[in-house]
Structure 1
Amino acid sequence: MRPQIVLFGDSITEQSFGPGGWGTALANTYSRKADVLVRGYGGYNTRLALFLLHHIFPLGCVTPPVATTVFFGANDAALLGRNNERQHVPIEEYKENIRRIVKHLKECSPTMLVVLITPPPVDEERRKEYARSVYGKKTMELPERTNEMAGVYAMQCVELAKELGLPSINLWSKMQETEGWQKKFLSDGLHLTGKGNAVVHQEVVKVFNDAWLCASEMPYDFPHHSAIDWRDPGKAFQQQCS
């Protein structure tokens, strides 16, 4: 059976299998090498994610995923007193929730590669534009998220990864290294454009390669056509399955 890679997160993960999505690109990278499964839930924060763990990652599973990306924080960082305050999770609780998610994943499989991804940066002006399109006259003057607060959650995610000895992707910092990142990488001030998705794909592949999950070094699930003797094709499949 092909090994499984699970992408676990909020809407940025849920949308990753759309056209030009980072999940789609990852599935292509690992074509015939591993199955990439998207488990993304729009609007979810880490508090809700905890309720999903035993359903998505059941303990005692015979074939647990070989790798899982954990990509939460964009909703947790929503500010109190704004339109999306119900999504807010205090920073210490956010960190503890991520810790609990990692603990559960490692209980499923101690060898599982767990990669923490920070929330992306926030373009506050675009978020206000988006809010006006949704809430109209009820829109608050201040955006429901700020880039500064997203950065606070991102730093906590990175610190926790170091504490637990896990690889992490600091998307918040990485994207802001590029001039004009606001429009280049973000479609509505929070979710990703095609180029933003490309950044995530590139960073995930880099982490996987640096670990032990390099696609080019993984075997095909069944023989490549060039390795098959077409006069006696069964021989190649016997070798593969023996």
Structure 2
Amino acid sequence: MLPPVKSTKPSSFTLSFALPDSFSNPSTKTKRTLLAFIGLIAYVAWSLGAWNAILIESGLRPKLRVALLLVGDSLTEKGTNPKSNGWVTLLQHDYTRSANVVPRGLSGYNTRWYLKYAMPVIRGEITSGSYTPALITLWLGANDAALPNGSSSAQHVPVEKYRQNLVQIVREFQILAPNARILLITPPHVDDVARHRRAKKYKGDKEGVIDRTNELTGIYAKVCVETAHKLALPVVDLYSHFNDMPKWRRNNLLEDGLHLNTRGNMLMYDQLLEKIKNEFPDVVRKLERWQLPNFARLVESDPWIPVDSDDTNSSRTLRRD
């Protein structure tokens, strides 16, 4: 298993530029220049991916295993915990012979922080050839939906900015990994009673101040669904799925009113696999193809045999082909 990225610092190399003042009121010539510049950047990014493919085909770089890149916050990071039957660990178990499951869940992150700090690191991983994702799950929004006047207001991202950030993250991945499938996931519901109960344990100014609500989270979930439709991408609408259940049942899927418990992880796992099966048959075929053969095939095709099959007492060696 590849460990989650722990560093909160951006990579040492970043590309930045300042636009001339004339771009605030662009002329036709300026517009053409800007479009040409954007086109050049897109071409360079595409070329990096194309060059990587050429290196693989030529044998200069080994062909990598299929990779599933899981982008998210604590709902993804906690999915790596085997004690709670984490949905990520279930994926790793299912595909241990065929794929690398690459969790990049960062507890507490919103879309703004993910773009600023995590994406440069992931960009470096992909462009360096560490892995080439066949599927990317994008599960952010639970922290963006923190109340602007609540106990976790520092995590809040205005809903329209959240929409823009989702689009930007998707666009970056479409350039970095043009052959990857992308799946959006909405934040799940919030158990308001559990979050109120948790808030009573806070100390100082935050005592009794809740951090998020099911109602506001629903607005962000709706934007996530709308963004997926706008970008022609599939989406797992966990928020609606949870809220369609009786309240007692859906609240029984969370450990603290926000994060998934054992039952919640199993539901998430089932929902994700169903969506992958229905939306990405090409990815399913890759996941079903083992990297190395089952030993039963080797028993038939490459068994150990005695050097002298007539002498059962003779020393035995592996047959060399």
Q: Is the 8 A contact 2:92 2:100 kept in 1?
A: yes
Distance in 2 between the 1:217 and 1:47 partners? 32
Letter in 2 for 1:9: G
Residue number among 193, 197, 208 corresponding to 2:265 in the alignment = 197
Letter in 1 for 2:214: N
The match for 2:27 is none
Q: Normalising by structure 1, report the TM-score.
A: 0.89
Residue number among 14, 31, 36 corresponding to 2:101 in the alignment = 36
Residue number among 81, 96, 99 corresponding to 1:18 in the alignment = 81
5+ long unaligned stretches in structure 2: 1-63, 305-321
Distance in 1 between the 2:264 and 2:89 partners? 13
Deviates more, 1:174-183 or 1:190-199: 174-183
TM superposition shift of 1:87: 0.4
Letter in 1 for 2:166: I
Residue number among 135, 149, 166 corresponding to 1:81 in the alignment = 149
Distance in 2 between the 1:61 and 1:208 partners? 27
Q: Is the 8 A contact 2:77 2:106 kept in 1?
A: yes
Residue number among 45, 53, 56 corresponding to 2:122 in the alignment = 56
Q: Which deviations, in whole Å up to 9, do the C-alpha atoms of 1:103-122 show, x marking residues without a partner?
A: 01110122211111111101
The match for 1:164 is 231
Change (3 A) 1:86 1:30: same
5+ long unaligned stretches in structure 1: 235-242
Q: Is the 8 A contact 1:68 1:114 kept in 2?
A: yes
Distance in 2 between the 1:139 and 1:54 partners? 33
Letter in 2 for 1:155: K
The match for 2:72 is 9
The match for 2:19 is none
Deviates more, 1:151-160 or 1:136-145: 136-145
SS of residue in 2 equivalent to 1:57: helix
Q: Does residue 249 of structure 2 align to residue 181 of structure 1?
A: yes
CA RMSD of superposed structures (Å): 2.0
- Bigger Rg, which one: 2
The match for 2:8 is none
TM superposition shift of 1:204: 1.3
The match for 1:239 is none
Deviates more, 1:65-74 or 1:223-232: 223-232
Change (3 A) 1:226 1:113: same
The 4+ residue runs of structure 1 with deviation greater than 4 A are none
TM superposition shift of 1:232: 2.4
Q: Is the 8 A contact 1:29 1:215 kept in 2?
A: no
TM superposition shift of 1:125: 1.0
Letter in 1 for 2:91: L
Letter in 1 for 2:292: F
The match for 1:65 is 133
Identity of aligned residues (%): 35
Q: Does residue 233 of structure 2 align to residue 145 of structure 1?
A: no
TM superposition shift of 1:37: 1.2
Taking the TM superposition and a 5 Å limit, the aligned residue runs for 1:90-129 are 90-129=158-197
TM superposition shift of 1:227: 1.2
Q: Normalising by structure 2, report the TM-score.
A: 0.68
TM superposition shift of 1:144: 1.6
Change (3 A) 1:215 1:195: farther
Distance in 2 between the 1:189 and 1:182 partners? 10
Query: How many residues were matched structurally?
Result: 233
The match for 2:36 is none
Q: Is the 8 A contact 1:30 1:215 kept in 2?
A: no
